[in-house]
Structure 1
């Protein structure tokens, strides 16, 4: 929570109440990544590309803990290797 405390005064000036709620959601997502030992940048880079086309019935697979588990089972580098 130290990161949130450092920006507390700045959070008053996010522009709009909805923007503040969005920022709070983003901070919660980053905190969840850190709690699950997931790199937030790698997670967001991957998930933001997938979320638009991902079926709603499987959206839970994109949560940080599930993303980490699936990523360990199928590392991204393995998909880049040509099949012989």
Structure 2
């Protein structure tokens, strides 16, 4: 919790001002805002998470008009494959090129081997 000095300082700012609103916002969330001081494992900000989701948040407006529900579902599946490939340390272009080349002759019972977490690139002979 915040202490009495913070409340006294807050009363010095006129009600309804932008500064008052910002202070009220901060004081209501004081415990969460200072949590990182009690535990060194808690990051001071959430910039890493924000940076990870930014492309998806920005694209959300663009994907709204994918053409149809099925087109949106297909786009979501491809985006999931691309992001999963990245999270598994693969170059998404190389991954997609390889699996799309293999897919027509790949056994349906072994299609799970083409998922990003199990994928092994085709050995290049030459």
- TM bucket normalised to smaller: 0.7 to 0.9
Which residue matches 2:115? 63
User: Which of 27, 45, 64 is the matching residue for 1:12?
Assistant: 64
Q: Do residues 48 (structure 1) and 100 (structure 2) align?
A: yes
Cα RMSD, aligned residues only: 1.4
Q: Do residues 30 (structure 1) and 82 (structure 2) align?
A: yes
Higher RCO, 1 vs 2 (CA within 8 Å, ≥6 residues apart): 1
> Structure 1 residues 75, 54: CA separation in 2 closer, same or farther (over 3 Å shift)?
closer
Please state which structure has a larger fraction of its residues in helix.
1
> What secondary structure does 1:15 align onto?
coil
Q: Deviations over 1:45-76 (max 9, x none)?
A: 01001011100111111111221xx33xx742
In 2: Cα distance, 1:43 partner to 1:2 partner: 23
Query: Any unmatched runs of 5+ in structure 1?
Result: none
Rg comparison, structure with higher value: 2
